[in-house]
Structure 1
């Protein structure tokens, strides 16, 4: 098993790396549709959507928060349709005991909005509740209607969710130490 993991780590990705290439393409294509970052009421509505992430409210609120199409990458998944995003967020909310996002800083560079945040996710694994607290930054672009057309989350899932997984957790903790 360890030999397979080490061999996988030693291989080189050929061609353009998918995540980076997708990000750069989505960034370029969203440029024409983007409006200047919205006022604080739109930012507050976005933050409220995730604080807490509520499975029953997602279907009611997703259309006002996200455009269709949308580029959404949270480091775990890349989606380009609002209905796919709604299904992903629904499954996430239903799979957790709770999730909340606290925005600690808002940075507006004139075209993009950057939100620095702390995310708390509580979930039950092997009969006990666990807390995953992570930090991250979301890069957002909005259309003229105040809907998100581009969202790229930058965070280290190995510091949050992955460390709690039965098989992956010990490996990621070992790799982080070495």
Structure 2
């Protein structure tokens, strides 16, 4: 059994940001080094727990989208809590295949004593950032938004 490596939260966040900004399918096995065994991941579409389930979220991302990549734009670290803002760039596989899409969002991370992620909670507006970009659904979402703001 190997001893756990303890990272200062700033060092851990630097490693986490580097991992996500360079995320590729071949890097997915390294997720277990960043996340605690019982970590939780939650975003507008899923709420999963455990390294295998979290790995599955990112595996699905690479299957469902073309050229997905994250760019972290800001970070705030306070103790074992971290807040990141990011741009997620990708292309749809079924329509507008040549248009790079961007979703802007934020992530709240809670780290354990070793600097591994215990909680990864993504915040982004699925209606504005995703649904409005899908043909037909987008027209309906824009109409609903107009009606709600009238």
TM-score range, shorter chain: 0.7 to 0.9
State which of 20, 36, 60 in structure 2 corresponds to 1:67: 36
Unaligned runs of 5+ in 1: 1-34
Unaligned runs of 5+ in 2: 1-5
User: Is 1:97 the counterpart of 2:71 in the alignment?
Assistant: no
Which residue of structure 2 lines up, in the alignment, with residue 45 of structure 1? 15
The answer to whether the Cα contact below 8 Å between 2:90 and 2:101 also exists between their aligned partners in 1 is yes
The answer to whether the Cα contact below 8 Å between 2:10 and 2:77 also exists between their aligned partners in 1 is no
Aligned counterparts of 1:110 and 1:48: Cα–Cα separation in 2 = 19
Aligned counterparts of 2:23 and 2:90: Cα–Cα separation in 1 = 10
Which residue of structure 2 lines up, in the alignment, with residue 177 of structure 1? 146
The answer to whether the Cα contact below 8 Å between 1:163 and 1:170 also exists between their aligned partners in 2 is yes
Give the 4+ runs in structure 1 shifted more than 4 A.
none
Q: Report the aligned-residue RMSD.
A: 2.2
Aligned counterparts of 1:109 and 1:156: Cα–Cα separation in 2 = 25
| SS of residue matched to 1:89 | helix
Q: How far 1:50 moved relative to its partner?
A: 2.0
| SS of residue matched to 1:76 | coil
Which residue of structure 1 lines up, in the alignment, with residue 117 of structure 2? 148
Aligned counterparts of 2:7 and 2:22: Cα–Cα separation in 1 = 27
Which residue of structure 1 lines up, in the alignment, with residue 53 of structure 2? 84
Q: How far 1:167 moved relative to its partner?
A: 4.4
The answer to whether the Cα contact below 8 Å between 1:107 and 1:113 also exists between their aligned partners in 2 is yes
Structure with the higher fraction of residues in strand conformation: 2
Deviations 1:115-158 (A, max 9, x none): 11122122222363332212211110111222100011111112
